[in-house]
Chains A and B, each alone.
Chain A
Amino acid sequence: MQQAKVIIEANTGTNPLLAIVLAIAIAAAMVTVTTLNFLNSGAYTTVKQIQIGIQTTDAVNQSDLDIISPINAADIDKYVTTLEQRLNTSDNYEDFGPEAVSDTALGL
């Protein structure tokens, strides 16, 4: 091994161990960069969204929601009414409207 190292050094002027260490360091740096890039990319977001979608279906099966009893048009009507009420409970305009951050509101 030592003899081979000497021969390589003699022929190329390069220390093979140094070359290997450098190659490993560069590979590690590239893996790190790629991983960070993926974690910050839209692809990772999409993967998380798909997971959420799967969890949604699983959650329905595991939740207390009724998934068995017969359903009719009146049930849908009733659901739509409660849906609108629940959505209106949170006032988007009050919570995210421009008034709260206007110059007047901020005292500017």
Chain B
Amino acid sequence: MLKRLLLLAAVSSLLIGACPVLAADSDTTESRLQQAVIDYQLVLSGDQRMNLLARCPTAQAKLVRIQQNTNFLIEERVSLYTEIQQELQAIKLRMIRQGADASETDLLTGKIQQGLEDVSALADDYKLALDDVIGVDCAKQPEYFQAGLMVMRLKRAALLDTLTQLNATICDDQLFEQLKDRLVI
């Protein structure tokens, strides 16, 4: 009986182990920062360590303010892009009533949706990186703070890049010129 129970336990653990998504979600701040230290091959000199120990609390306080503002900034943008999607749909409906082909609006709406998804995913990554760097104990692990800072800057840069690209996509003159052509003809 005991052998059977052990076998069942082994099978169950195999099934659970086969869920990579769950395994990824079990990541902790500690493990993420530890991995970042390894990835960046981060080694602090004595001076750098002392500098971080002295100034880290101030830096973390400033990062908390940035973190508090981030949710608002992201929501503001998501709201704007969603509004634009709706306006494009409205334009499409008005054009359709006139018998004009407005399929370009669907294309742009789709691109905005894709951009919104990318922004949401990157914003989540960025917020997680901010959480990590704010939550780390600098006195005990200054390397982790430094590595977390580097990760957070990368995520922030990726978010900025995606937002910039999305704005450029929305302001694509060619697409609106095509719409105008359809209305003139």
| A36 contacts the other chain (CB 8 A) | yes
A36-B22 in contact (CB<8A): yes
Alpha-carbon distance A40/B71, docked complex (angstroms): 21
Alpha-carbon distance A30/B15, docked complex (angstroms): 8
Residues of B within 8 A of A86 (CB): 80, 84
Interface stretch among B29-37, B39-47, B89-97?
B89-97
Given A83-B84, A87-B80: A69 touches B94 (CB 8 Å cut-off): yes
B164-A92 in contact (CB<8A): yes
Residues of A within 8 A of B98 (CB): 70-71
Residue in chain A with minimal CB distance to B66: A100
Given A69-B94, A83-B170: A96 touches B62 (CB 8 Å cut-off): no
Chain A interface residues toward B at CB < 8 A: 13-14, 22, 26, 29-30, 33, 36-37, 40-41, 45, 49, 52-53, 56-57, 59-60, 63, 65-73, 76-77, 79-80, 83-84, 86-87, 90, 92-93, 95-98, 100-101, 105-108
Chain B interface residues toward A at CB < 8 A: 1, 4-5, 8, 12, 15-16, 19, 21-22, 25, 51-52, 55-56, 58-59, 62-63, 66, 73, 76-77, 80, 82, 84-87, 89-91, 93-95, 97-98, 109, 113, 117, 149, 152-153, 156-157, 159-160, 163-164, 167, 170-171, 173, 176, 179-180, 183-184
